[in-house]
Structures are given as C-alpha cells and as structure tokens.
Chains A and B, each alone.
Chain A
Amino acid sequence: MERAKTYRKPGVTERLWLGLEKVLNLLTTSAYNPFYYLGAISIFFLWIIFITGIYLFVFYSISAAGAYNSVQYLTVNQWYLGGVIRSLHRYASGGLVIAALTHGLRHYVLDRYKHWRWVSWVTGIGMVLVIIVGGIFGYALVWDQRAQFIAISLSKMIESVPVFGMPMSISFARIENLADQVFYLLLAVHFFAIIAVTVLVMIHLGRVAKSVINPPKVMAYGLVAVLFLLSFLRPAVSSGPANLKALPQAMPFDWLYMFMFPLMRYMTEHELWLFIVALVLIVSIIPWLTAEKKNPEVQVTKENCTGCELCREDCPYGAIQMIKRTDGMPYELEAVVVNKRCASCGICMGACDYKALNLPDLTEDALKAEIERLSTELAGAQGKKVVVFNCAKGAWPDGVLEAGGRVKGFDWARIVTLQCIGMLQPSMLSIPFENGIDGVFISGCRMGDCSFRSGNEWLVGRINGYRTPVVKKSLDRSRIGTAWLSAVEKDAMLKELGQFHKNLK
C-alpha cells in the first residue's frame, strides 16, 4: 500500500558532498568530523581572534608615524610571543572565512537554509560581510605597503558613495595630510566588527535551540595545533613600510579578505559597488527563490496536553512555547507552536506521551496504525522478523514507500519511514514487540549531523534511559539495533540491518 506522505531524495551535489563527508568519517568518525562542526569552529576562531587581538592592541601605536614600527616590534623583536600571537590572529581570521563560507555552502548544498532557517541564512551572510570589512581594516592598521594599497582603494570605494561623503583619499595622498585620527578610525571599525559579529551570532542562533557553539575538545586542540603549525611555517609579516610617494608594488595578498580590490582594475567604483550589492542581495534571497511548499506545521490538541514541557525541551528550533493554561484544565501550562519557526520535523511528537501533537500529514494515530499493520502483516512470516524505523533524511532504500515498506531480499523486514528519527515515540517502539516481532532496527542520520539537529541524539537518550520520555525498561535492548548513516550510505545501512537480523537470538 502506498502512503500519502513522500520524501525528497538528495540531488547530485548533495550526494557528492555527503560522499566526501562519508570518506572523512572513515578517518575521524562522525564524532569528530569537522564538517559537522563548522559553525562551532567559526566561533572558536572568533574567540582566538578576540583574545590575540587584545594582546596586539596593547602594543599597537595608533598613529601614522608609529603604527608600522609597533607591529614590526612585535613581529621581529618579540617574535617568540608577539610574533606568534600576530600569526595566530592572522591565521584564525583566514580560518574563520574558510570555515564560515564552507558552513554556509554546506547548508546550501544540503538544503538546510529555507523556511524557518532564513534568519540564520541572512545573518550568516551579514556576518561574512562584517568579517571581511573588519579584516580589511585590520590589514590597513599595519600601515605597510599592503595597507597603503588597501587605504587608497578603500578610500575611493567609500568616496564614490555620496552618503559617506568623507574625503579620505586626500588624507592618503600625502603623509602630511595623514592625521592620527585616521588610525583611530581604522581601529574603531576593526574592533567594531567583532562586536557586530557577536550580535549577529546571537540573532543567527536565535531560532537554533541548544546550538552547538563549541567544537569537541579534541577538535579544539586540533584547531589550535593547525594555527600554531601555520604560524611556525610562515609567520605573519608586514611588507615594506607605507610610502605615499610611491605606488605600492608586489605585496603578499590575502585573497580571503581582499579579493575585490583587484576588480578595481577592471571596473569603476560604482560598478564594483553594484556588483557587491547585487551579489549580496541575490545570495540573501536564495531561500525564497528556491523555496518549495513548506510541510504543514505540527498541531497541538489542547485537550490532551498536560503541559509537561517535554516537547519544548526537545524542539530543535525553539518553536514551542509554554503559555498559561487557557482552557480551565487543571494544568498550569499548555504548549503552543510558533508556526514560522516550526520545521515540521515531528521531534516533539516523539517527546509527547499524551497524543497532544500531530503533524497533519503524518499523525500519531496514522503512524501507530502503520506500525501495527506492518507488524501483523510480518508476524506470520518464517524466522526472525524485524521492523525498521527509518529516517527520511538518512539512509533508506529506494522505492520502499511505494513497496509498502518492503525491500527486495529482506522479506523478514518491514520499513516505517519517518520525517525525522526523533519522531519515534517510546510507545511506538513497543508496538512491533507486542505483535510478535523479534527485533526493531532504527536507522537515522549520522550522529552530529541530524538534519533537524538533534533528533537522533534525543532518541538515543530515550532508549538509553537518560532522556524523557524513556523507552520502557522491560524492552530488551539487545533486540533494538541502530545505524546512524547519511543519505548516501544505504548499502551500509542494509548491511547493518542484515547483520542485526543474523545476530538476533
């Protein structure tokens, strides 16, 4: 029998990306796959930038005459400390751009940027902009030839917009025109960038409940090790001191931050502005350009809600709010869904023991009936029998929905597909056993990479008994098998399933 609800299969780029991550998992295991922690890695770099920045600031001379030498002092005389700190500051900034861009690209490729995620998407772009502006001003502070080139190019860009109206180019035309105030301004913008990013990070994560903002310890050590490695391989240095009487010549260029200046060779300032603004706008509205219809949001059946708050606790997007009871029932609170934040993942359904939550296109009753139907259908079969719960975002065999939960060569199994494995409510796990099934197999996304952020993690907690609602103690855990695999690993998933079946007693 066919089921009404269907699920999207990953496209080509998505499969390629997941394929790369699959290879990395062989090396790092999913617990330490950096691709699963790119946001946290970005924040880690921000911390390093902030802390090393304080040290650099202490020694920095905010003046046209002193800036270059004060940085040279750190780099040359104090190479063992100031020089290293400067290098860490530099390379953490580079790492930040790489990590943030990869993080954003990953969300795009894996189709995790639309609908309720738009706030994260748009603020993410804002952060990249602020970071790049901050970095450019940082390079200007050094006041070497690279800084001179930046100052001159940036001045032209700024002046070309009448609202700014600041005649900066005159300041940078002759050293006599260059007031120290200019350096205060550069420093202020540079420092303001980190404050602006902090604010944006907060908005970025406003809808992301219990966000992962720190990489695992092992990875943090790894990041520090890489930064030190780069610092020793190639310490950050200045080019020659700025000389306004000469055009800056060949300089070590940071393409991660200064990529747009070379374009000024081919475009006027206004064209470049147009290019930047158009690019930013287009990337910002991609979530709306590509949006397909959103799945219907979860609905609360108020009569059944006891106000236990478990759904609020488990919702990965903070889409459930507990408000004061409005219907006179003897409970203090009731759950309310904020639709625009809701991902329709059903994780809250998995948390609710009172039948108070339902996805309109896959209600608890319908789901339980399906489990029951497939279980009884299978019960009469020979040998050991397994019911499989399968996350639609993870690894699942093609055509299983159309085949009514059957997979060729696995006659002893029936597969129930869920929007997210976190939707699996403990009482649903008991149904197959009550109907004469020998084992239950659970297949969800890679740990650390749940499409809905924490569905798989919460489920493991429920089964292992440390997260409410817990799976009954009386269920034999050796009859529950799991596979945490990505959408490109369906062969591995079926192999694990076969193995589990073979080992069932």
Chain B
Amino acid sequence: MSDKKNVSAGEGTKKPKKPLEIISFIRVTAVLIVFIGLPVLILSNISYSFYSPQESAIKVAFQHTGKRIVDCDEKDLIKEEGKRYRELLKTEKRISMNMGKLAGCPRERFPVVVDLSIDGRTMLDRAYKPKGIKRDMASYIYDDFIISPGVHRIAVAMYDSGNKNKADATLDETVDIKPGDVKVLRFDDASNKLVVE
C-alpha cells in the first residue's frame, strides 16, 4: 500500500499538469479584462449631458437677514443695563445683572419672502424661514429655474419685514440670456439692492 500518492485538489481525479504560471497569468488576465476591465472602461466613460444646449438657468441664491419681529435692540439694552450696573456698583455692595431683562428681548426674525416673475408669469412666491432654533438668524434663499435662452423680463420683490404690501427691495429688469448661461439673482448687501448677474 502506498501512502505517497496525494489526493489532488485540482480539476478532478488526475493530478492536472500544472500550467506554467505565465500561462495562468495570461488566461486570468484575459478573463479579468472581459469581466472587469471592459465594463469599467465602457461604463465609466459614456458622454452625458443633463442639460440640453438649448437651456439656460436662473438661480435665486443669497443669504439675507429678515427684520426683528419685535423691535427691541439688544445692544441698547446691554448698554443700558451696563450703565445701571456700574452706577449701582458705586453705591451698593451686593448687586446683580438683570439677565431676565435681557432675555426678555425676543430675537425672532421675519421670514424673507421673494416674489419672482419672468415675462409676467409668477415663478416664485415663497417665504424662506430664518435659520436657528430661535429663528433669529439669516434666511437662506435658494431656488432655480430652467428657462429658454433669449430676452426675458425679470421682476422681483423681496419682503423682509413681514409687510406684504410694501416690498423692501424690488427689481425690474430685462436681460438677454445666452444658451447655457446661468443668471444669479441676489440681494447685494453692500448696495442694499437686488441684482441679477
């Protein structure tokens, strides 16, 4: 009885002639090219266009802080309270800042409302809520529209003080939009004006 002959782990009962490693390499590589290389090459490189060349866009994109709902100037209050504190300091020994008085100043702001019409058609009439848990920060205004290129009349009104009868800023402009162009409508803080560019 022989115990020398090993049971093969190869292809079946007979021990296969081990092919040269270089041949294995070539064969494996061929299979890898077909099943990995080719699909990767093709799928990672198909030309695609989300937008057609005959489209343009208008984006309404800016950050703006609405007015305080309750007109209460925190800075003034702090100044006042500081003054009282310093005065009291001269006369009394035990004093404290009146924090309650400061906290009583609500900081919530109005949403920023943007009305946009293009060629007389209303595209947008939306209130953007202020950020922050207390709604005391700026509103982020963003919306976009695909439009056809050409000359368009853009009319915008922005309200930031809760009064829908009186716009806080307006814009009425005719713009020529080239194919593929992106026009951005925003409120420019420096000039305090709505601009489209």
Contacts and interface: CB of A to CB of B under 8 A. Distances in A.
A49 B56 CA distance: 37
Interface residues of A, number: 80
Interface stretch (B8-16, B66-74, B99-107): B8-16
Interface in B34-52: 35-37, 39-41, 43-51
A98 interface: yes
A218 interface: yes
A173 B12 contact: no
A29 B10 contact: yes
B28 A234 contact: no
Chain A CB count within 10 A is highest, among B49, B141, B181, for: B49
Contacts of A256: 40, 43-44
A294 interface: no
Interface stretch (B19-27, B113-121, B154-162): B19-27
Contacts of B122: none
A170 B40 contact: no
A99 interface: yes
Interface string A23-34: 011011111111
Interface string A230-250: 100110000000001111111
Contact of B184 (A95, A173, A473): A173
B87 to A, nearest CB: 44
A489 to B, nearest CB: 10
B47 A251 contact: yes
A464 interface: yes
Interface stretch (B57-65, B77-85, B90-98): B57-65
Contact of B1 (A149, A219, A474): A474
Contacts, number: 194
A234 B40 CA distance: 11
A452 interface: no
A34 B47 contact: no
A66 interface: no
Contacts of A244: 182
Nearest to B19: A29
Nearest to B51: A247
Contacts of A399: none
A223 B32 contact: yes
Contacts of B2: 476-478
Contact of B43 (A255, A460, A465, A475): A255
Contact of B5 (A149, A457, A478): A478
Nearest to B40: A94
A442 B9 CA distance: 12
Nearest to A215: B28
B40 A95 contact: yes
A481 interface: yes
Given A34-B32, A167-B140, A149 B61 contact: no
Contacts of B13: 481-483, 496, 499-500
A483 B11 CA distance: 7
Nearest to B1: A476
Nearest to A233: B41
A465 to B, nearest CB: 8
Interface in A79-107: 90-91, 94-95, 98-99, 102
A473 B29 contact: no
B55 interface: yes
Interface string B152-184: 000000000000000000000000000011101
Contacts of A280: none
Contacts of B180: 246-247, 249
A169 interface: yes
A229 B37 contact: yes
B32 A222 contact: yes
Contacts of B39: 94, 98
A221 interface: yes
A473 B3 contact: yes
A364 to B, nearest CB: 23
A499 B13 CA distance: 9
Contacts of B47: 250-253
Contacts of A481: 13
A239 B5 CA distance: 62
Contacts of A28: 24, 27-28, 31
A218 B26 CA distance: 9
Nearest to A259: B43
Contacts of A99: 36
A485 B12 contact: yes
B88 interface: no
A230 B28 contact: no
B33 interface: yes
A345 interface: no
Contacts of A474: 1, 3
A241 to B, nearest CB: 15
A225 interface: yes
Interface of B: 1-13, 16, 19, 21, 24-25, 27-33, 35-37, 39-41, 43-51, 53, 55-57, 59, 61-63, 131, 140-142, 144, 180-182, 184, 186
Which A-B residue pairs are the 4 nearest by beta carbons? A173-B61, A94-B40, A253-B48, A167-B140
Given A249-B49, A262-B50, A476-B2, 6 more contacts: A31-B24, A169-B59, A218-B28, A222-B25, A253-B45, A265-B50
8 contacts: A27-B27, A165-B131, A173-B59, A252-B46, A475-B1, A476-B3, A477-B5, A480-B7
